[in-house]
Amino acid sequence: LTGVAPEDLMARLGLPAGNAEGQFFPDTYLFKRGDKASALLLRAKSVMDRVLAEAWTERSPNLPYDTPYEALILASIIEKETALPADRARIAGVFARRLAKDMRLQSDPTVIYGVGSAFQGDLTRKMLKTDGPYNTYRRHGLPPTPIALPGRASIEAALNPGGGKDLYFVARGDGTSEFSETLEDHNKAVARYQRR
């Protein structure tokens, strides 16, 4: 959208000034030559609002977050953590249990989002130790905004997290995750899959 100030676009879309991340439902949208880009964004926003509202009405009881927007934030993290459908609810369960226990989420994708264009492919110890609103290694709770455009499956996982006792997971490097109930087991998994 050229020639439109971000604040004006946000107002047109009925969004507060600031970050629009996560507000648009990722999908294929058909449009015709001459259609306004703002109309397409309004449509994607409307679809996201509907999908989120529908999922919210079907949510599990006793979630550790109180609003659809907070669920959207968690869904965006799940979206970045895995592309594997089988892992979404389980990862959501890990995060829900961590939030309920007031543990930090310690999610790499949130840190990467906060680092922005300075991220060049390797998450460093310095990045993990630098405080910022998206550094869930340093801060408790959810980051202030979504970090991606979550799809329906991630939204549903955030609102219906998997059960169990797992509090940790690490990427195996093949698209799957290794889950652990204890920090000791998690550290062994990290050594096995991340420190090769």
Partners of 126 in beta bridges: none
Position 1 scores a pLDDT of 58
From first to last of its 196 residues, the chain has per-residue pLDDT tens of: 566 777 777 887 777 777 788 999 999 999 899 888 888 889 999 999 999 999 999 999 999 999 999 999 999 999 999 999 999 999 999 999 999 999 999 999 999 999 998 898 888 899 999 999 999 999 999 999 999 999 999 999 999 999 999 999 999 988 899 999 999 999 999 999 976 5
Position 112 scores a pLDDT of 96
Position 54 scores a pLDDT of 98
User: pTM for the complete prediction?
Assistant: 0.92
Q: Is 168 within 8 Å of 94 (Cβ atoms)?
A: yes
Q: Side-chain half-sphere of 104: how many Cα atoms within 13 Å? A: 15
Position 61 scores a pLDDT of 94
Position 44 scores a pLDDT of 93
The three-state DSSP-derived secondary structure of the chain is CCCCCHHHHHHHCCCCCCCCCCCCCCCCCCCCCCCCHHHHHHHHHHHHHHHHHHHHHCCCCCCCCCCHHHHHHHHHHHHHHCCCHHHHHHHHHHHHHHHHCCCCCCCHHHHHHHHHHHCCCCCCHHHHHCCCCCCCCCCCCCCCCCCCCCCHHHHHHHHCCCCCCCCEEEECCCCCEEEECCHHHHHHHHHHHCCC
Nearest C-alpha neighbor of 158 from the set 178, 142, 181, 134: 142
Q: Is 75 within 8 Å of 154 (Cβ atoms)?
A: yes
Any idea where the domains of the chain sit in the sequence?
6-164
